[in-house]
Amino acid sequence: MIMKYHHFRYSPVALTVLFALSHSYGAATENKKIEENNDLAVLDEVIVTESHYAHERQNEVTGLGKVVKNYHEMSKNQILGIRDLTRYDPGISVVEQGRGASSGYAIRGVDKNRVSLLVDGLPQAQHYHTLGSDANGGAINEIEYENIRSIELSKGASSAEYGSGALGGAIGFRTKDAQDIIKEGQHWGLDSKTSYASKNSHFLQSIAAAGEAGGFEALVIATHRHGKETKIHSEANKLKHNIRRITGFENRYDLYPGSAQNAPGGSFFIVEDTCPTLDCTPRARPKLNRDNFPVRTFPEYTPEERKQLEQIPYRTEQLSAQEYTGKDRIAPNPLDYKSNSVFMKFGYHFNSSHYLGAILEDTKQRYDIRDMQTPAYYTKDDINIRVDNLSRKNSSVYEGDNILDGLVFDRRIPYGLRYSHVKFFDERHHKRRLGFNYQYTPENNRWLDNIKLSADKQDIELYSRLHRLHCSDYPVVDKNCRPTLDKSWSMYRTERNNYQEKHRVIHLEFDKALNAGQGVFKQTHKLNLGLGFDRFNSLMDHGDMTAQYTKGGYTSYRGRGRLDNPYIYRRNPRSIETVSLCNNTHGDIINCEPRKIKGDSHFVSFRDLVISEYVDLGLGVRFDQHRFKSDDPWTLSRTYRNWSWNGGITLKPTEFVSLSYRISNGFRVPAFYELYGKRDHIGLKDNEYVQREQRSHQLEPEKSTNHEIGVSFKGQFGYLDVSYFRNNYKNMIATACKRIIQKSHCFSNYHNIQDVALNGINLVAKFDLHGILSMLPDGFYSSVAYNRVKVKERKLTDSRLDSVNDPILDAIQPARYVLGFGYDHPEEKWGIGITTTYSKAKNADEVAGTRHHGIHRVDLGGKLTGSWYTHDITGYINYKNYTLRGGIYNVTNRKYSTWESVRQSGVNAVNQDRASNYTRFA
């Protein structure tokens, strides 16, 4: 069974060594082991082939576009998280959120909310894009893989199986049961798994325990993870950065040509609070650095003047790759990641027909990251001499030895030049689930084979917070610092997004298998009828947009500013000022009113899979209705009704060859943030023309169709699957601007405006080398995987709209080859394998495009990646109840950057990375 699951994953970003130690307690008797081994030796190949195709064709007869993985395979392939799952699956990639988390998957040229994610049939949180918010999270809750028993990755439109969102594909997760942990021949089981990955210092500890007695069964899984940012290539750390920051200088002496030695150069002062007797040496006001200062040749500078002269130019400082902050940073942002999950299942078998179960889950994840593309210092480019009067707030007066204390940015929220400029992001994800399920398997299955009823309550909270800090003297960085009375003009600014999504879901399924016909016309029908209801609530609580600063300043009450008659200043009373940045009278991002949308959806689905000797047929149809309601008149409230379907046929002229064709469609109703609207029309909230446009604005569902044809070869040699697919996407939603009020204003919102067509080829093969050449020992294998997607057409469907982008297809993964060769002991006592991954360069045409502004055009071309390849070696050893696994990834330590990482710099990125050096993704 294991042999026939596909082993394809993408290569990690840096050299990674991973060790996984897995203990399994409780085993069958020795005689039973011998019997199992004997059975395996005789039936190995038959079991492998049948299990592979039965599983991938569970809901659809062709198996085209399907990849199925179970927990045993995930452990064997050392899959620790979302980025490892599709490491060797060309055509499926992870969407990076940009702050440590992820925003789902990309399949067949689309991503995020266009690829559906479900766990036990429950939809996971949507990607919510808060436009214009510095605290925008945009992440999707990540799933704890230690709780998962199997995963189906469906490529191509799949709404007949997965509902709304399965536009380009879907990923369905199934959680573990007690029987997955209980050992054969026993009534209990205990698994412990410890893993470590050096690429990101990722540590995992998971313990699973299960037991059964007297009809009762129970399962408990506890998992802890923590890790850091993914490391860059070691060569990158050798890079040095030069900076020229503002340090300022005390303008005590006049150093210009024609001046006398030690002549007073500027304005002088004394602060009464630090010198009550007023007999201290006056201090000189500071000035900003400058280059090309005119030097006096005569008379010579005195030692005191020369010391000041040395401080005038910007001084060059050299920082390491890890120390440097700024847009040219090559090292990744520091990340601290932690995750804790508790998963429980309980059940009771009343008899062989009736089962009642319950499920509880509590999973928390946190991502703390510092944005080190934000310079912690200031340069002359940060000073706008037309706006920034640095001497106004503090009169250029300072106390102590830090002369920058006298220079303050005079802005709405003022802050001193002396403080480090630091930005942090906090992400907190929390998923809670409580569910009950009932299963009825009648002893007399004349009419029904199985009935399943489930009711689930799922609450997901995605919390993100921005911290901007100006309260620690450079170069000190302190995330916990805040404005205090002893730090004049220190500042702290924050913003918070708290997205909550709640679902109350009921599912009911009926299954029946029946036989019809005789001889070559004998066929088996696998019938399934499904009913579902979901009551949902979406809440985006955008707020805490506040700033605090310590108000300082000085008042002069006498003096002329000369060295012999300095200004005398008194310190103004200091206070902590709090400023709210919210304004609910506006309709844009500064509006902090909660964004509430509620509603419900229900569906009815029917599926008939017809299996016969020479022909397999499949038909699925589903009806969905979604109702969205909001008390906010600006939020779209609407009902959507959609039919989805799929059909498939497989011709089996021989036992070894099959020809398949699959056709399916998909749809996606607008996401919650799209229903809310873009709302960047500042000050127009009460404008009657804007209100009229908002009331008449409509969004239609996105639609897709998928055609796929394939040929499959299977036999003693292994299997080979090749397919060609074509996907068409219609009514894709994007932002655009509509002219209103005699075209004097532009109303920006989401519109159905983009169409895309693409096609591609997918190849998956695994060869049993012993079956091909009997002289080779049993257990040797090789594998091949390839995927390519090509854009056939992309266009905008409404020329009347402005400020709209051409469809940018950065979600397409560059063509990729994966080649594998290895050996698995027939009894799985040990195994070793090498995998080579080769990726082509990113096609520039896929990310090129234009932003249309009426008659004006703006090029949207972005960064690209070149071709690259890596070699990975993995292996395992089984000894009794212990398994040791290890891997060396990127054995030759090549420098490369994956497109999945670099696309964070594109215009469609969740949180666009605007750094100038994308080598930071190497």
Q: Which domains does the chain have, with CATH numbers?
A: 2-215 (2.170.130.10)
Q: How many CA atoms lie within 13 A of 296 on its CB side?
A: 19
- Which of 712, 872, 698 lies closest to 15 in space, CA to CA? 872
**What does the chain come to in residues?**
922
Query: Consecutive sets of 10 residues in the chain, 922 residues long: mean pLDDT of each?
Result: 33 35 37 38 38 59 93 89 92 91 95 97 94 83 95 96 97 96 94 96 97 97 97 89 96 96 96 96 96 94 97 95 93 96 98 97 97 95 87 94 95 96 97 98 91 98 97 97 97 96 98 90 95 97 94 96 97 97 80 93 98 96 98 91 98 96 98 89 64 82 98 96 98 89 73 97 97 94 98 92 89 97 95 97 90 71 89 96 95 92 84 72 66
Cα–Cα distances (Å) from 623 to 602, 620, 664, in that order, read: 8, 11, 14
Residue type, 817: Y
Contact 152, 68 (CB under 8 A): yes
Burial class (CB in 10 A: 0-12, 13-18, 19+), 345: buried
End-to-end C-alpha distance for the chain, whole angstroms: 37
Contact 473, 523 (CB under 8 A): no
Q: Residue 916 — φ and ψ, nearest 5°?
A: -90, -15
- Which of 890, 880, 883 lies closest to 75 in space, CA to CA? 883
Burial class (CB in 10 A: 0-12, 13-18, 19+), 384: exposed
Residue 98: its pLDDT value, please? 85
* Separation of alpha carbons 640 and 823, rounded Å: 53
Residue 858: its pLDDT value, please? 67
* Separation of alpha carbons 824 and 423, rounded Å: 49
User: E strand or H helix at 14, and its extent?
Assistant: none
Q: Name every residue whose Cβ is closer than 8 Å to that of residue 529 and which is 6 or more positions away in sequence.
A: 509, 510, 604, 605, 606
Classified as helix, coil or strand, 333 is coil
Residue 20: its pLDDT value, please? 37
Chain-centroid distance, C-alpha 307: 52
* Separation of alpha carbons 648 and 653, rounded Å: 16
The token pair at 394 is 């503090």
Please name every residue paired with 22 in a beta bridge, in sequence order, or none if there are none. Answer: 193, 883
Classified as helix, coil or strand, 672 is helix
The token pair at 586 is 């506006």
Contact 694, 677 (CB under 8 A): yes
Cα–Cα distances (Å) from 486 to 167, 471, 556, in that order, read: 57, 11, 20
- Which of 683, 705, 793, 797 lies closest to 751 in space, CA to CA? 797
Residue 866: its pLDDT value, please? 93
Q: pTM of the full predicted structure?
A: 0.90
Contact 344, 181 (CB under 8 A): no
Tokens 């050893």 sit at which residue? 877
* Separation of alpha carbons 758 and 775, rounded Å: 45
Cα–Cα distances (Å) from 481 to 181, 324, 419, 420, in that order, read: 48, 21, 11, 11
How does DSSP classify residue 34? H
* Separation of alpha carbons 154 and 714, rounded Å: 21
Cα–Cα distances (Å) from 211 to 181, 194, 439, 641, 882, in that order, read: 8, 22, 20, 45, 20
User: E strand or H helix at 703, and its extent?
Assistant: strand 702-715
Residue 741: its pLDDT value, please? 59
